[in-house]
Chains A and B, each alone.
Chain A
Amino acid sequence: MSKLGENSLFSQEQLRKMLYDMLLIRRFEEKVEQLFQQGKIHGTMHLCIGQEATAVGACAVLTNEDKIISTHRGHGHCIAKGTEVDRMMAELLGKVTGYCKGKGGSMHIADLDKGNLGANGIVAGGLPLATGAALTSKMKELGYVVVCFFGDGSTNEGAFHESLNLASVWNLPVIFFCENNQYGMSGSIKEMTNIQHIAERAASYGIPGEIVDGNDLLEVTEVTKKAVERARNGKGPTLIEAKTYRWRGHSRSDARKYRTRDEEKEWKTKDPIELFKNKLIEENILTEAAFLEIEEQVKKEIEAAVEFAENSPIPGEETLETDIFA
């Protein structure tokens, strides 16, 4: 993990906030898992436990005006971009107070006011949309950049290649942020591609390709910041590949037969939250007592979110056919 210190991009308060956000994501996901097992959440869920540093690290260098586009594994991105966990939880419980009035669920949370252009249930579905959002920024001279999250599985979709090419020839302010968590559902990246690094593909489109340790929050922020600056200065897109790991299966029904428990254990030694917490303690930015306080606050925020969601009404039938057309 890179050094903090005087050259840090962030104040101590910001550093602690990033730790807070990572922990909030972790606890949110654990709570969602629990509510799911209790039958309070229906459908399916895609947890991002283990990937907290990519979401928080990338969003930490964005302004409120900058945009993100997320994936089906998007709770972390939402939280990192400032989406409130109470209304997220309400959405997962299908309540009318949810971000999408209970019509979107886990895979479709959007918060346009905060620059969150939405999660997407289609693999690589967000990439062309991100080019369009970036085109708006360029044509209207709005100055915002778009960070498009996607998984390693997306990179074998045509939309990935077409979008990188389009963004490159049009020099659009978009960062293609690949969270390489090693698996597209059960397909390991080693089985599904014949190259070592997804970032190598950037060369085909004449844009920079960066590889980053996705479990190292500060490394993620540094690389993303550089890409954001390039984009903001009119120098076009960057492809970032963050190597990380999803601790859970693809979704609820996944028994993870395609990988070994040893492999999982190995990755868990690189827990992004532990690594960052230890770093902050080492550098006297955080005390154990302060960490316990963060944990307590996170716990309260999650409890309040669940309470809000559980006490919210379900949508009435009269809403079934609204919101189809403007």
Chain B
Amino acid sequence: MRNITYVEAIREAMSQEMRANQDVFILGEDIGIYGGAFGVTNGMIEEFGPERVRNTPISEAAISGCAVGAAMTGMRPILELQFSDFITIAMDNIVNQAAKMRYMFGGKANVPVVIRTPGGSGAGFAAQHSQSLEAWMAHIPGLKVVQPSTPYDAKGLLKAAINDDNPVMFYEHKMLYGVRGDVPEETYEIPLGKADIKKEGTDVTIVATSMMVHKSLEAAKLLEEEGISVEVIDPRTLVPLDKETILHSVRKTGRVIVVYEAVKRGGYGAEIASMIGESDVFDYLDAPIMRLGGRAVPMPYNAFLEQKAVPQVEDIVQACKTIMNK
């Protein structure tokens, strides 16, 4: 199978869907000849033209609302929001319009819009370009929230998101764009709401999202050498959440750590931990559920501090050792 990058996988998903369906188009800042801030739409304007790879003014309020208005009238827009931090400027259209429209109108409106946006730290972009705000969106009824961690998942999930009749927040991670993986050339979808077991194990379950999947897998390798067997589950979609796959793993291992990059306080890890605590697998737990998340600080610029602000491989290793001794 071909080995391609996360960026290429996302581009391929969009291109295939645009070839298959004239209603699909992309809009966003600098996505034309420039190819987008991270090069995701490189070359797409050449194939699809400026009508369907639509460069917008820097106007997040207008372009997000425009995407919603186009979606509710029969198009399937993909909005590239240049950095996930800029969601604050697009918030009204996502939270007050897209998410609620179907419900407010008594089930009449379909809003098939995908908002793709890079989040996460690690690039030295400091506090206004490095946040992980997916928990905000997961809190809003009416939005689906996706966080692919691999090129394979990115392609399959994005295709499912484009073909979904609901608004979908599609969180990419800017440090994953260059990551390579096996991706079939043919079209395929990964259903929203289906987790993936990235590695099987028997002693500890790690539920990790986005970049933290990779760090957890690295940690698992190191722990294996010390005789600790780690199972890594990637929910892939926060909404809908595949509870069963997580609970099944917890039944098997009896120990669970939730690892996520977003600020730990009020983050989605609390949701996963509570979901486990409230379920009937509580009795299988051999230790209290642990959460590893980002520190409650605006993302610092300094590379050392930036690293310290979010969980690293050694933190995950340490957490696993701690939970094994409980």
Q: How far is the CB of B110 from chain A (nearest CB, A)?
A: 5
Q: Is A132 an interface residue (CB 8 A)?
A: yes
Complex alpha-carbon distance, A111 and B23, angstroms? 23
Contact B166 A325 (CB under 8 A): yes
Contact A324 B103 (CB under 8 A): yes
- Give the most central of A98, A125, A134, A165: most B CB within 10 Å: A125
The stretch of A99-107, A229-237, A276-284, A306-314 in contact with B is A99-107
Which residues of B are found within 8 Å of A163, using beta-carbon distances? 61-62, 65-66
Q: Which of A120, A136, A165 contacts B74 (CB 8 A)?
A: A136
- Give the most central of A69, A102, A137, A139: most B CB within 10 Å: A139
Q: Is A128 an interface residue (CB 8 A)?
A: yes
Q: A129-B69, A166-B56 are in contact. Are A159 and B92 (CB under 8 A)?
A: yes
A residues 182-199 in Cβ contact with B at 8 Å: none
Complex alpha-carbon distance, A127 and B62, angstroms? 8
The stretch of B34-42, B93-101, B206-214, B293-301 in contact with A is B93-101
Complex alpha-carbon distance, A131 and B97, angstroms? 14
Q: How far is the CB of B58 from chain A (nearest CB, A)?
A: 9
- Give the most central of B25, B57, B105: most A CB within 10 Å: B105
Q: Is B178 an interface residue (CB 8 A)?
A: no
Contact A128 B93 (CB under 8 A): yes
Q: Which of A110, A122, A134, A322 contacts B109 (CB 8 A)?
A: A110
Q: Is B286 an interface residue (CB 8 A)?
A: no
Contact A132 B106 (CB under 8 A): no
Q: A133-B72, A139-B25, A159-B92 are in contact. Are A325 and B142 (CB under 8 A)?
A: yes
Contact B102 A325 (CB under 8 A): yes
Which residues of B are found within 8 Å of A45, using beta-carbon distances? none
Q: Which residue of B lies closest to A315 (CB)?
A: B106
Task: Encode contact with B along A286-326: 1 for CB under 8 Å, 0 otherwise.
Answer: 00000000000000000000000000000000000011111
Which residues of B are found within 8 Å of A120, using beta-carbon distances? 97
Which residues of A are found within 8 Å of B64, using beta-carbon distances? 128
Contact A132 B72 (CB under 8 A): yes
Question: How extensive is the interface on chain B, given as a class?
Answer: 35 or more
Contact B105 A118 (CB under 8 A): yes
Which residues of B are found within 8 Å of A178, using beta-carbon distances? none
B residues 31-62 in Cβ contact with A at 8 Å: 51, 56-57, 59, 61-62
Q: Is A130 an interface residue (CB 8 A)?
A: yes
A residues 122-149 in Cβ contact with B at 8 Å: 122, 125, 127-137, 139-140
Q: Is B288 an interface residue (CB 8 A)?
A: no
Complex alpha-carbon distance, A118 and B100, angstroms? 12
Q: Which of B69, B74, B106 contacts A103 (CB 8 A)?
A: B106
Contact B104 A103 (CB under 8 A): yes
Complex alpha-carbon distance, A322 and B105, angstroms? 12
Q: Is B68 an interface residue (CB 8 A)?
A: yes
Q: How far is the CB of B168 from chain A (nearest CB, A)?
A: 11
Q: Is A117 an interface residue (CB 8 A)?
A: yes
Q: Is A43 an interface residue (CB 8 A)?
A: no
Contact A129 B165 (CB under 8 A): no
Contact A135 B65 (CB under 8 A): no
Which residues of B are found within 8 Å of A129, using beta-carbon distances? 65-66, 68-69, 72, 93, 97
Which residues of B are found within 8 Å of A326, using beta-carbon distances? 102, 110, 112, 164-166
Complex alpha-carbon distance, A102 and B107, angstroms? 11
Question: How extensive is the interface on chain A, given as a class?
Answer: 35 or more
Q: Which of B70, B106, B144 contacts A133 (CB 8 A)?
A: B70
Q: Is A30 an interface residue (CB 8 A)?
A: no
Which residues of B are found within 8 Å of A72, using beta-carbon distances? none
Q: Is A112 an interface residue (CB 8 A)?
A: yes
Q: Is B277 an interface residue (CB 8 A)?
A: no
A residues 163-180 in Cβ contact with B at 8 Å: 163, 165-166, 169
Q: Is B141 an interface residue (CB 8 A)?
A: yes
Which residues of A are found within 8 Å of B101, using beta-carbon distances? 118
Contact B59 A162 (CB under 8 A): yes
Complex alpha-carbon distance, A293 and B170, angstroms? 58
Q: Is A108 an interface residue (CB 8 A)?
A: yes
B residues 142-162 in Cβ contact with A at 8 Å: 142, 144
Contact B107 A135 (CB under 8 A): no
Q: Is B16 an interface residue (CB 8 A)?
A: no
Q: Which residue of A lies closest to B164 (CB)?
A: A326
Contact B66 A131 (CB under 8 A): yes
- Give the most central of A98, A108, A122, A326: most B CB within 10 Å: A326
Which residues of A are found within 8 Å of B62, using beta-carbon distances? 127-128, 131, 159, 162-163, 165-166
Q: Which residue of A lies closest to B110 (CB)?
A: A326
Q: Is A67 an interface residue (CB 8 A)?
A: yes
Contact A127 B103 (CB under 8 A): no
A residues 150-169 in Cβ contact with B at 8 Å: 158-159, 162-163, 165-166, 169
Contact A132 B66 (CB under 8 A): yes
Contact B59 A122 (CB under 8 A): no
Known A-B contacts: A125-B96, A135-B75, A163-B66. Give 20 more (CB < 8 A): A104-B104, A108-B104, A110-B108, A110-B109, A122-B97, A125-B97, A128-B66, A132-B71, A133-B73, A134-B69, A139-B25, A139-B51, A159-B92, A163-B62, A163-B65, A166-B59, A324-B141, A325-B166, A326-B164, A326-B165
Q: What are the 3 tightest A-B residue pairs by CB atom distance, in nearest-first order?
A: A132-B69, A128-B65, A162-B62
A/B interface sample: 19 pairs, CB < 8 A: A69-B69, A101-B106, A101-B107, A102-B106, A121-B96, A127-B62, A128-B65, A129-B97, A132-B73, A133-B73, A134-B69, A135-B66, A136-B75, A140-B74, A140-B75, A162-B61, A163-B65, A324-B142, A326-B112
A interface residue numbers (CB < 8 A to B) = 67, 69, 98-104, 108, 110, 112, 117-118, 120-122, 125, 127-137, 139-140, 158-159, 162-163, 165-166, 169, 322-326
